[in-house]
Amino acid sequence: MTDTSVYAPSAEFVKHAHVKGMEGYRALYQRSLDHPEEFWGELAEKELFWFEKWSSVFEWHPPFVKWFAGGKTNAAYNCLDRHLTTPRKNKVAIVWEGEPGEQRLISYQELHRLVCRFANVLKGRGLKTGDRVIIYMGMVPELPVAMLACARLGIIHSVIFGGFSAEALKTRIQDLNAQAVVTADGAWRRGKEVRLKDAVDEALEECPTVRDVIVLRRTASGVSMQPGRDHWWHDLEEGISEQCPAESLSSEQPLYVLYTSGTTGRPKGIVHTTGGYLLQAVTGMKWVFDLRDEDIYWCAADIGWVTGHTYIVYGPLAAGATTMIYEGAPDFPQPDRWWRLIEKYRVNTLYASPTAIRAFIRHGDQWPNGHDLSSLRLLGSVGEPINPAAWEWYHRVIGKERCPIVDTWWQTETGSTMIAPMPGAVPLKPGSGTLPMPGVVPDIVDLHGKPVAANQEGFLIIRRPWPGIARTIWGDPERYKQQYWDRIPGVYMTGDAARRDEDGYYWILGRVDDVMNVSGHRLSTMELESALVRHPAVAEAAVVGKPHEITGQAVACFVTLKRGDWNHEEVAEDLRKWVAKEIGGFARPEQIRFTDALPKTRSGKIMRRLLREIVTTNAVTGDVTTLEDLSVVTRLAAQHEED
């Protein structure tokens, strides 16, 4: 993570960029610090529609904040209605392709009709502002339709990732006391059906608050329908009106609750509101993705995660963009599915996870090289720090050395990008998120809140509230206060370790609990993983700390090799020497285990928590509902027993 290469934006990119050159970035950022109320107030007037203007830009009563208090707006109106009086009404809002190959191109005008129809369905079931609806679906257009229909009426939605189990679904429904569930009979994933309705039926055995289940027919497989409770989407829409005025809602009206993992087994429902969240989403689209009106923009995340909420649905649609959605796996039926999609739809921006990028590296360059990727002009990275080797491959093989890479750092709780380069302004350093976004005031401190020196590792904090910040944890404001604001009083504690170099660039090193202490040396798992994947034999690596009676912790590595005929003993010894040379002898791995695959969520994040369980207890007892493939963990645990 100490790559010294610097990639300045090209003159051609700067010429057309929203923010031009470092002077443009510095002026914008400094104004956001010097005059925050003017800065965000002007942007709110320019970028969003308001039924009524606010009385104050923000009211800060630590740790709670209100943005645009007194203002009235509506997220669905901003994403749809206001475009209908412009030439955008006939522009494609959503490009969708199903895993089996179906295609839909939905204009803003058509999407507006679909949303109004479904909003009337929700009204017909007695749902109103302040009620809660769970959405548990695959990546189909009806998912954003359901979200926007809820937003139109002021119904709080919670999208539950379609890979969650019935048990995980149940706990979230119960925490939210939801009145309705919107789902589908199933979804397609790697050619197989994911049985969504079956999971809903199982979850609802212990969820008495749910009165209605609305089921989309997607796979046309047989499902059980409980009379009085379960309804087919298409039946409820029959003869329904396409007119449904958007409710005038408080800027602070909760828009959605998104559940994220906590240190305890209890899920945290992160609450995002309407006005401030939407403003940060739309400005992020323009600043980070340098959005142009003609762009085909593809964020390859799942809508069940915050990335999908902000950068597939609300941000792109509020900005009037064409957003692409793909239902299935990136490597099905062949490892070139993504590259086929980019070639077919002439995609201009690709926003993906480092884990997905490393998986493509392992498949080999021949797959992307077999397709015309010349339409791409911007690449993005999200979800975890991207190691320099993967950054360089992404830049060289996918971007053909002409596409800037926006490496973005943010969280479910932040709502939008916090540290990321503006591609026409900020020179790039592979592995660094670069500089903070306007209005974001980060710092790196020790446990006492004292700033650390340049290039020293510390805790990443944020000193001021920003419009997209989560307002609370659903039903538990005290937990919100304790978790994010009490550890270092008065500042937002991100839970990430980071360092800031002499140029002010931020290098995110991963979660604080992903930092090991080996013989008094603090080691970031991200730095170790970066060193490993720089080795020519390694495709992917995950590192965790293993208890050690002498050193406190020892380094345990799980390594996936590139295709080839490798002698594992020789490679393991070579990797130990490699890490010692790259980082130091104190970082030499004690254990290296080779595996065909690493345990990942369906969104592509490596679940290091499960790997820690394997090396410490030889058992996996934690939640595995988000795993893409449970058999990976089973094989690793069995391999550990043999060792």
pLDDT digits (tens, 9 = 90+) for 234-266: 999 999 999 999 999 999 999 999 998 654 456
Q: Residue 312 and residue 318: Cα distance in Å, rounded?
A: 11
pLDDT band for 74, please (50, 70, 90 cuts). Answer: very high
- Return the pLDDT at 369: 97
Q: Is the pLDDT of residue 584 over 90?
A: no
Of 362-371, 417-426, 457-466, 619-628, the one with minimum mean pLDDT is 619-628
Helices (runs of H) and strands (runs of E) counted in the chain: 21, 30
Q: Which has more confidence, 627 or 270?
A: 270
- Return the pLDDT at 624: 64
CB 133 within 8 A of CB 122: yes
CB-neighbour burial class of residue 12 (10 A; exposed 0-12, middle 13-18, buried 19+): exposed
Helix or strand or coil: residue 361?
helix
- Return the pLDDT at 214: 98
Residues 6+ apart with CB under 8 A from 46: none
Q: Residue 166 and residue 203: Cα distance in Å, rounded?
A: 5
Indicate the pTM of the whole model. 0.86
Q: Residue 522 and residue 457: Cα distance in Å, rounded?
A: 9
pLDDT band for 539, please (50, 70, 90 cuts). Answer: very high
Helix or strand or coil: residue 424?
coil
pLDDT band for 165, please (50, 70, 90 cuts). Answer: confident
- Return the pLDDT at 523: 72
Task: State the DSSP code for 451.
Answer: B
CB-neighbour burial class of residue 585 (10 A; exposed 0-12, middle 13-18, buried 19+): exposed
Helix or strand or coil: residue 204?
helix
Q: Which has more confidence, 563 or 642?
A: 563
The average confidence (pLDDT) of the chain is 92
Q: Which has more confidence, 160 or 612?
A: 160
Residue at 483: amino acid letter? Q
Q: Residue 165 and residue 271: Cα distance in Å, rounded?
A: 22
Q: Is the pLDDT of residue 325 over 90?
A: yes
pLDDT band for 622, please (50, 70, 90 cuts). Answer: low
Q: Using one digit for the tens of pLDDT, what is the confidence trace for 462-486?
A: 999 999 999 999 999 999 999 999 9
- Rg value, the chain, Cα: 24
Residues 6+ apart with CB under 8 A from 206: 170, 174
What is the average per-residue pLDDT within 548-572?
87
Q: Is the pLDDT of residue 512 over 80?
A: no
- Return the pLDDT at 204: 97
DSSP string, 586-609: GG--SEEEE-S---BBTTS-B-HH
CB-neighbour burial class of residue 490 (10 A; exposed 0-12, middle 13-18, buried 19+): exposed
- Return the pLDDT at 637: 72
Above pLDDT 70, what percent of the chain? 93
Q: Using one digit for the tens of pLDDT, what is the confidence trace for 80-138?
A: 999 999 999 999 999 999 999 999 999 999 999 999 999 999 999 999 999 999 999 99
- Return the pLDDT at 641: 52
Neighbouring CB atoms inside 10 A of 117's CB total 18
**C-alpha to C-alpha distances, 163 to 139, 217, 324, 395, nearest whole angstrom:** 11, 18, 21, 31
What is the average per-residue pLDDT within 60-70?
96
pLDDT band for 387, please (50, 70, 90 cuts). Answer: confident
- Return the pLDDT at 264: 43
Q: Residue 477 and residue 524: Cα distance in Å, rounded?
A: 31
- Return the pLDDT at 516: 72
**C-alpha to C-alpha distances, 204 to 199, 228, 231, 248, nearest whole angstrom:** 9, 14, 15, 33
Q: Residue 597 and residue 625: Cα distance in Å, rounded?
A: 18
User: What is the CATH topology of the domain spanning 100-245?
Assistant: Rossmann fold (3.40.50)
pLDDT band for 194, please (50, 70, 90 cuts). Answer: very high
Q: Using one digit for the tens of pLDDT, what is the confidence trace for 396-423?
A: 999 999 999 999 999 999 999 999 999 9
Q: Which residues are 66's β-sheet partners?
A: 59
What is the average per-residue pLDDT within 291-316?
96
- Which structure tokens are listed for 198? 């079956």
Q: Residue 532 and residue 518: Cα distance in Å, rounded?
A: 18
pLDDT band for 640, please (50, 70, 90 cuts). Answer: low
What is the average per-residue pLDDT within 337-362?
94
- Return the pLDDT at 519: 63
**Residue 368 half-sphere exposure, CB side, CA atoms within 13 Å?**
22
User: Pairing between strand 192-194 and 187-189?
Assistant: antiparallel
Q: Which residues are 296's β-sheet partners?
A: 322
User: What is the CATH topology of the domain spanning 519-642?
Assistant: GMP Synthetase; Chain A, domain 3 (3.30.300)
Domain ranges of the chain: 100-245, 519-642
Of 133-142, 285-294, 549-558, 622-631, the one with minimum mean pLDDT is 622-631
Nearest C-alpha neighbor of 285 from the set 243, 322, 337, 340: 322
DSSP string, 256-308: EEEEE--SSSS-EEEEEESHHHHHHHHHHHHHHS---TT-EEEE-S-TTSHHH
DSSP string, 139-163: SSTHHHHHHHHHHHHT-EEEE--TT
Q: Residue 67 and residue 612: Cα distance in Å, rounded?
A: 40
Q: Is the pLDDT of residue 514 over 90?
A: no
